[in-house]
Chain A
């Protein structure tokens, strides 16, 4: 149990309304909830949790934290998969939960101003009424926050069509460790006035500043898409299929893949049935921007003839499309609910995927003989989620030792193929030791220097991404 300095508490009592301390959480069980994200690798141990209501309160709080050397973990929806929001060393958790206002949609500029704690899905619903959407979309959208999405530069299932979160943030309001409030870029699409500081905060996992509000760029809600589930016999076939589709005159809005092992865990946990009658080891969930089935028929016919696809189905209406999507979207949750996955989230240049996958399969066969590998991901973006399930016979400790060893081998392979050790989940605490596989020593030195500029006392999410 960690305690906050008594002088700090005194200063808070003097400067904040009584409500602020009343809402303070110091109950152990609740601390554990607020002290961690979706990962379970590192035990949470925060000193307290606070819920500011305004940007001014965040500013005042951070100024006091700086003065009293109190470390702070910015906390969003706590769905992160890298341990970025884990408070393991007695930090104060700054939850954005109470700052969740969503402003009027500007339908002409196609923008909306939101507070950082707004839930991703709530923003979708709010904008949908105007035929617009914020195209950041993934399975955890019902809990994740806009601030967390921006702090992790989140990806998801629409990246192939819309790109990362970074593309959909126009303006940012950020509070620095010393309490300074920055308004970056307003609501401008174009603003060529020198380096764009806003970009430094997108994907910075809370180490440079606390995001308190953002002006989001919106896209028109696409018409109902055409959704296919395809069964394939090899990873080569998955990649060949992707190549064929990319050459065709189609707009792919999702190209997601998963293996039969993922599907088996999903049907065990969610009781979802496999819709295809022929079992295959690989599945692709393909979404195309509205087409007539007859438009793709010749292509599908040729894919069957080339034996690239073994079996498949096409959603005949929206409810079937949703059922197919849930097979893919349930995977992450089902793996955690039915076992203990060790997660890696890697990215490769598309051109390298094939040779990388062959080597990865070999590596896994030799390093994890007989272990259950659950592979899935946004393969259309070169993004693979490599999940190894803990065998029952191993203790948690033995499992972690083993996976840590193999991770080095996997990441060396990733580096060799010009890939990244974290495609979209971030670095946080979990991937910190491996960052050097993706970033050069010069880059890391620059990163440390920039961190000192923004947060000289190292109170903002200390120990995340890299150690100073």
Chain B
């Protein structure tokens, strides 16, 4: 099975306190640390699990191609994915400011037309913008079946996938015929969430996303990483969405100390008006 996995880097949410707003009310990214969007890391892990025998994670049965829209310095994120086991990488040269979900989806369609994967596997959304659009848009542009928010995937050879989608009150099971678009949710990296046709039933993976072995990090430097131009893929690409401004949450007002229960009750009544 050949799988295409788009990945994006996001500002590390653990560094949220370092976020600054520029004078024109945009996010100022200088000085932020970057990491792969967590849902995209889960998608890469899922793709690896779908193209291997869980008992031997070093040999790939099929191909995993990772794709990123971003500037040159974001290539380290692609290299990291190559180190965990992806075979090839494509970087579509672009600035974050020129992208929105629609431009990315159109670009992905162009890549899919060239690469002809059996499956496009994506994170359900990025944690910086929470847009949750790309999987759905790209499925529409391709005219392929889609399954969003996958919590489990079982592969039936290269023909179809059984996908479990977590919905309110239970799991919805569906079968998608390949080629298809699937977006993954948090629980997809649980030990038994994903099983390829080559992996024995009952196989349990370590919980979460795999770490790259040192040897593999070194070997990843030699794996192919090609660059494409956004303008070649999507001539005249323009954003459909412009965000007007970004605001930090309001600072919390300082607390006060009360001297007695009576005072507390009085304040809750008179000032907070919750009693």
A-B contact pairs, 6 of them (CB 8 A): A275-B211, A277-B57, A293-B217, A314-B214, A318-B14, A319-B14
The 4 closest A-B pairs by CB, nearest first: A275-B211, A317-B35, A312-B214, A273-B206
Count, chain A residues at interface, CB 8 A: 27
Q: A residues engaging B (CB < 8 A)?
A: 224, 228-230, 271, 273-277, 293-294, 297, 300-301, 304, 309, 311-314, 316-320, 322
In the complex, A314 Cα to B15 Cα: how many Å? 21
A297: chain B residues within 8 A (beta carbon): 218
Interface centre among B36, B76, B215 (most CB of A within 10 A): B215
Question: A313 touching B212 by the CB < 8 A rule?
Answer: yes
- Nearest neighbor of B214 in chain A, beta-carbon distance: A312
Question: A304 touching B211 by the CB < 8 A rule?
Answer: no
A301: chain B residues within 8 A (beta carbon): 218
- Nearest neighbor of B81 in chain A, beta-carbon distance: A316
Question: A318 touching B35 by the CB < 8 A rule?
Answer: yes
Question: B213 touching A311 by the CB < 8 A rule?
Answer: yes
In the complex, A248 Cα to B179 Cα: how many Å? 51
A313: chain B residues within 8 A (beta carbon): 211-214, 217
A317: chain B residues within 8 A (beta carbon): 12, 33-36, 80
Question: A224 touching B212 by the CB < 8 A rule?
Answer: no
In the complex, A271 Cα to B191 Cα: how many Å? 13
Question: A276 touching B213 by the CB < 8 A rule?
Answer: yes
Question: A314 touching B35 by the CB < 8 A rule?
Answer: no
- Nearest neighbor of A274 in chain B, beta-carbon distance: B206
Minimum CB–CB distance from B247 to chain A (whole Å) comes to 21
Q: Tell yes or no: B83 within 8 A of A by CB.
A: yes
B207: chain A residues within 8 A (beta carbon): 271, 273
List B residues 1-53 near A (Cβ within 8 Å). Answer: 12, 14-15, 33-36
Given contacts A311-B213, A312-B213, contact A319 B218 (CB under 8 A): no
In the complex, A276 Cα to B218 Cα: how many Å? 16
Q: Tell yes or no: B71 within 8 A of A by CB.
A: no
A275: chain B residues within 8 A (beta carbon): 210-211
Q: Tell yes or no: B143 within 8 A of A by CB.
A: no
Supply 16 further A-B pairs (C-beta < 8 A) apart from A228-B214, A297-B218, A316-B212.
Answer: A230-B214, A273-B206, A273-B207, A275-B211, A300-B214, A300-B218, A311-B213, A313-B212, A313-B213, A313-B214, A314-B212, A316-B80, A317-B80, A319-B14, A319-B35, A322-B14
